[in-house]
Amino acid sequence: MNKKIILASASPRRRELLTQIGLDFDVVVSETEEKITSTEPAKVVEELSAQKAEAVWEKLAESGVCDPEQKSGEATMTDTLVLGADTVVACDGKILGKPADSEAAAAMLTMLQGRGHEVYTGVTILYEENGERKTLTFHEKTTVHFYPMTDAQIREYVATGDPMDKAGAYGIQGFCARYIRGIEGDYNNVVGLPVGRVYQELHGLRLV
């Protein structure tokens, strides 16, 4: 049974990736305060993706997206699934989020240049089956290798503004591609969503 897909993310890159593989979806942005209990990157992205998906699920349920056969206060979303995702960059076990300013972006890029690091994306899929809410959470890891960058090259890239809204202060699909030596794993995972794995999981669950 195909379900209506709700993407719990404001990321334009995730929207582009889902569109690229032919999935129809709507976007409802999570407004929850994110809390993490782990420092391990894989667990962090799984926690955050679950929090985003759960917040949007509750928001939709409370807004009245429910089965009319259910009694008041027992809202269900039998024809809907919510997809939450979160991506972090990790270097030497340290999680690098979005840079606060250009100085922070330059510091992150200095750390990453000339070496490899990991990109983790956590994904959570919430859906209903036989009146019961089900949760599937997983993560993908991709290793990215940078060519060496000079201070002038780092400043040039930071000046484009591209690093400022991206974990680890870079986007692999843009200007920074000139400094990518290679990757091990899923390229789309670095962009923001491992859509191949997402589709296979959804198809395996007969949700698409």
Packing angle between helix 151-159 and helix 102-112, nearest 10 degrees? 130
3-state DSSP assignment of residue 85: strand
* Helix ranges restricted to H, 63-193: 102-112, 151-159, 187-191
3-state helix, strand, coil in the chain (%, to 5): 40, 25, 35
Among the listed residues 118, 132, 109, the one whose alpha carbon sits nearest the alpha carbon of residue 87? 118
- Indicate the DSSP class of residue 101: S
The letter for the amino acid at 58 is: E
Catalytic status, residue 86: yes
What is the CA angle 200-84-125, rounded to 5?
Answer: 45
Catalytic residue among 24, 67, 79, 86: 86
The letter for the amino acid at 116 is: G
Q: What is the DSSP string of 166-197?
A: SGGG--TTTGGGGGEEEEES-HHHHHT--HHH
What does each C-alpha distance from 82 to 77, 91, 156 come to in angstroms?
Answer: 10, 30, 39
Question: Which residues are annotated as catalytic?
Answer: 86
